[in-house]
Amino acid sequence: MEWQVERNPPTKQRVDDLHFFLFERTLHPELFEIATVKRVEQRRYQAEIWILQCAHAVTVHTARGAVMELIAPEMQILPKTGLATSFRFRGERDHVQALDSGMRYILSSQVERMTPQVFPSTFRELHRHAQRKGFFVEFGEPIDGMTAFSFVDFEARDHEFHVYAFHAFPSDLTLLKTQSILELGPEPRDRFG
């Protein structure tokens, strides 16, 4: 698997601006500034991961419907149709939701604010790991040798899709970490089988 490492324009975005949105539908890509895209094909679903400006979106299409996880600033142009839930990121939070399609969505998130003594070593370790392992984009110029970035990794199983995302904000000495799982549930049975 080949990973992309890109550098994009600076971001003025802060972790305090970010919200979580869960849609039971897809949203048009034209609504977002997409830095890069990763597509995943499995037997029971197709997934698409977009890295945005220190944010991300994940869309999963199944025979039962579509689900979209969006981590982004709150925007006036986001539709309310299909919005299952939304909230602002603060501290640690877990969220579990049964979807109309019969799928189940699980999220764990953490906003980790660090001291100036701790953040650089944590940042460097995650940055090195992200460059080797995942889907990784840097934004803007370094601040004290550290560049804002988004790193998304995933695990595609037959009946689940796991997403691990990290968004680093050196100007705030903060990391946003999310781990989400979309459980597809049992396969639909053939009426005649």
175 CB burial (10 A radius; 0-12, 13-18, 19+): buried
Task: Tell me the pLDDT tens digit for each residue of 149-188.
Answer: 999 999 999 999 999 999 999 999 999 999 999 999 887 6
For residues 98 and 89, what is the distance between their CA atoms, to the nearest angstrom?
21
pLDDT tens string 22-58: 999 999 999 999 999 999 999 999 999 999 989 999 9
Do the Cβ atoms of 172 and 178 come closer than 8 Å? no
Least confident of 4-13, 118-127, 153-162: 4-13
Cβ atoms of residues 126 and 118 within 8 Å:
no
